[in-house]
Structure 1
Amino acid sequence: MAFESLNRDNVVDFLADIFARRGGESYMGEPVSMSEHMLQSAALAEKAGAPDSLIAASLLHDIGHYTSEFPEESLEQGQDNYHETAGADVLTAFFPKSVHEPIKLHVAAKRYLCATNPEYFNRLSPASVNSLNVQGGPMSDEEVADFETHEYYRDALRLRVWDDEGKFAGAQTRSFDDYRPLLTGLLVATER
């Protein structure tokens, strides 16, 4: 389905189709598939008692790997694919800022945490270290200060931690379809 034909009535089906068709693909050297990773991130958000919008952001945070114009393997080959922006751009027309802004900031959140928390870097997987280097490395002091001005930076930090933790082979999660009511409810409650 072309992005131009997306609307409120079909966007959740569009996202479900991505999960069904592409979600089983590998996740850049991690021990889980892309869909397993995103579902685990959403499950961690739920377990933490996050609001629905942050659960949705956790579920959809890497959707930009499939909506970006860059090849899927670009990060592994040393080229930034800007998946955070690509995903947020698709979702902006249909979901509130509380969903798409943490997604847009989740790569910056990794860079921020690496700059502000020396222990955080040691918890990153080898694939995350590789992508960190491609995405600009730890933030400078100026970038840290700028990041902290974003309205949703704290949510992005929470999402980032769930992103890092959602990489366990064989972990049991709910399915994408289990999240349809949550996603649909957020479409109705957009902030526009």
Structure 2
Amino acid sequence: MPELTRDTIVAFLGDIFARRGGEEYLGEPVTMAQHMLQGATFAQQQGFSEEIIVAALLHDIGHFTSEFGTYNPDDTQDRHHEDAGAAVLGAFFPTLVTDCVRYHVAAKRYLCATQPSYFERLSDASVHSLNLQGGPMSAAEVAAFSANPNLAEIIQVRHLDEAGKVADMETPDFAHFAPMVQRVVDRHLKGTP
């Protein structure tokens, strides 16, 4: 991976979308790029903050940047793409964004434990990955996760994640969101060389 700066991070992310965005997304009827662009588009349409839109756009970037590789429906272990994504973004984005990336998998486990009807809405691929990721949270895990100050936003991004699986949906491309991504980076690094 090249050395990234505030001036190159957005182009780096855009290049990933361009080169690898056409890859299959977890057995769903959308590609990886379509999935993330749909989440960001829904967030923008619903009037969420730029940070939430960017978090939805980048929540699965770890599938591309992780040394663990991408998910496969035949996987028998979790590849922790959420940690890989947060690690790449951590130097450039506010905690709100990186928490939404880092904890979007935990949010699925949390929602399955606290809202049983949520589990019924999961796709087969999402149920498979849930099992690899530890299944619904225990009561102790729910209590610990509930203490995250960004819980509401993490849950918002989780719902956007689940929504972003619409076959043949038209969305803007990464270039549409790139100026917003840069603004989020610049606000976070304001005053930093």
Identity of paired residues, percent?
51
What residue is the counterpart of 2:157 in the other structure?
A: 159
Q: Is the partner of 1:73 in helix, strand or coil?
A: coil
**CA drift at 1:74:** 5.1
TM-score (norm 2): 0.95
The AA in structure 2 aligned to 1:53 is E
What residue is the counterpart of 1:115 in the other structure?
A: 113
- Following the alignment from structure 1 to structure 2, what is the Cα–Cα distance between the partners of residues 36 and 47? 16
The AA in structure 2 aligned to 1:112 is Y
The AA in structure 2 aligned to 1:50 is F
What residue is the counterpart of 2:183 in the other structure?
A: 185
The AA in structure 1 aligned to 2:126 is S
The AA in structure 2 aligned to 1:138 is P
- 8 A contact 1:74–1:81 mirrored in 2: no
What residue is the counterpart of 1:140 in the other structure?
A: 138
What residue is the counterpart of 1:58 in the other structure?
A: 56
- 8 A contact 1:28–1:76 mirrored in 2: no
- Following the alignment from structure 2 to structure 1, what is the Cα–Cα distance between the partners of residues 23 and 142? 33
- 8 A contact 1:76–1:130 mirrored in 2: no
- Following the alignment from structure 2 to structure 1, what is the Cα–Cα distance between the partners of residues 84 and 113? 24
Q: Is the partner of 2:87 in helix, strand or coil?
A: helix
**CA drift at 1:75:** 6.2
**2:124 corresponds to which of 123, 126, 148:** 126
Cα root mean square deviation, aligned: 1.2
Q: Deviations over 1:131-151 (max 9, x none)?
A: 000000000011001001111
- 8 A contact 2:26–2:72 mirrored in 1: no
- 8 A contact 1:41–1:165 mirrored in 2: yes
Structure 1 unaligned spans of 5+: none
Q: Deviations over 1:84-108 (max 9, x none)?
A: 1110110010111121111111000
**1:23 corresponds to which of 21, 24, 44:** 21
- 8 A contact 2:51–2:96 mirrored in 1: yes
What residue is the counterpart of 1:103 in the other structure?
A: 101
**CA drift at 1:114:** 0.2
Q: Which runs of 4+ in 1 moved over 2 A?
A: 73-76
Please say which of residues 42-51 and 69-78 is displaced more in the overlay.
69-78
The AA in structure 2 aligned to 1:114 is C
- Following the alignment from structure 2 to structure 1, what is the Cα–Cα distance between the partners of residues 14 and 52? 18
Q: Is the partner of 1:189 in helix, strand or coil?
A: helix
What residue is the counterpart of 1:78 in the other structure?
A: 76
- 8 A contact 1:110–1:132 mirrored in 2: yes
- 8 A contact 2:38–2:171 mirrored in 1: yes
1:1-12 equivalences under 5 Å are 2-3=1-2, 5-12=3-10
Structure 2 unaligned spans of 5+: none
Q: Deviations over 1:39-73 (max 9, x none)?
A: 00001111221100010000000000011111313
